[in-house]
Amino acid sequence: MTTLLARIGLITAGGDCPGLNAVIRAVTKSAIDLGIEVLGIEDGFLGMIEDRVRPLLFNDVSNILTVGGTVLGSSNKANPMRYAASKDSGGKPIFEHRADHCLGVLARHGIDTIVLAGGDGSMSIAAELIDHAALRGQPLRFIGVPKTIDNDLFGTDITFGFQTAVSIATEALDRVHTTAASHHRAMVVEVMGRNAGWIALHAGVASGADVILIPEIDFDFDSVCRVVVERSTHGKRCSIICVAEGAKPRGGAAVVARTDLTSPDPVRYGGVGKLVADTIEARTGIESRYVALGHVQRGGMPVAADRVLATQLGHHAMTLLRAGRFNRMVAVRDGQLTDVEIRLCAGKQRTVGPDDPLIAAACGVGVVFGE
């Protein structure tokens, strides 16, 4: 066992998700119990850039287990290696390298070890900062905690936030089912997930969706419309289609709502739900409606499973710290807590494989993936 540190930093970066406060609570309480001071870095890496750091005491993290979001705040636009500090006359972002500045901020606060709750983008930034700090002769160490509702972080079987997002999406699908049946409609529900179909797959199966469209399987409009027509012909009162925001028609591209050049991940998907609903109605004559759940999937209280998982992951991060195992990310593999190199997760996404057992189970009960 290594000598314990006197102080650590704690940061929640990237998109918010349910369970972040459970991690903050677990890390802080575990650290205090070990006599380690915790400094919270506000609003993700932006707090590092703007020198917004504050102590986290026991009372600061009491009674936050059930609270959604993050009491530290977050940001998905603040990469110290490429920070959009201003805009030119044409409105385009002007990027600056702020890594040296961030290292100075951390040095002033006596921080050389940071527990980071984040996704693939955040882990990529951490890996870059580790290398940059080494070149400057100022060691910087991270311990990652896997966070994202999309469940697409490479190196772990599950991330906290995912199960709450699936629960929210499932409830929405359940609710639109009744109104769709009342009006004999096809109802399309668009869920988040970026390039991964985990939310759509799990929520679609849980709600009994008739069609599930995910980014990993390009769909054919003829196949989707055929399902809707056949169900209507056989007296079914409605059809439910769950579509991931990154799903794309065969031979086409994903629907992009907008781009944000200030973000490390500039593409913002959105609109495929409307495209699918409009196409179904145009081709079949069956009234179709769509709902895009959007950020509602990120909000509210985490479900019990995410509270438990986030607590386990946060505590295991401190176990790694006590053992001196740095620049690792806590992970879950085959149902067991473990850890992997942060670099293994950087810049990669875990997507749904064609042989995933849940796809086979869905097909076995008649779900169509539009292929």
Judging by DSSP bridges, how do beta strands 141-146 and 113-118 pair with one another?
A: parallel
Nearest residue to 326 via CA among 313, 338, 339, 336: 339
Q: Helix 198-207 crosses helix 357-364 at what angle (to 10 degrees)? A: 30
| Residue 326, φ and ψ in degrees, nearest 5 | -100, 165
Which residues carry out catalysis? 150
- Residues with Cβ within 8 Å of 341's Cβ and at least 6 positions away in sequence, in order, are 327, 328, 329
- Give the whole-angstrom CA distance, residue 132 versus residue 150: 29
Nearest residue to 8 via CA among 240, 363, 324: 324
Torsion angle, CA of 167/170/175/179, rounded to 10 degrees? 170
- Extract the tokens encoding 168: 């929210």
- Give the whole-angstrom CA distance, residue 355 versus residue 142: 34
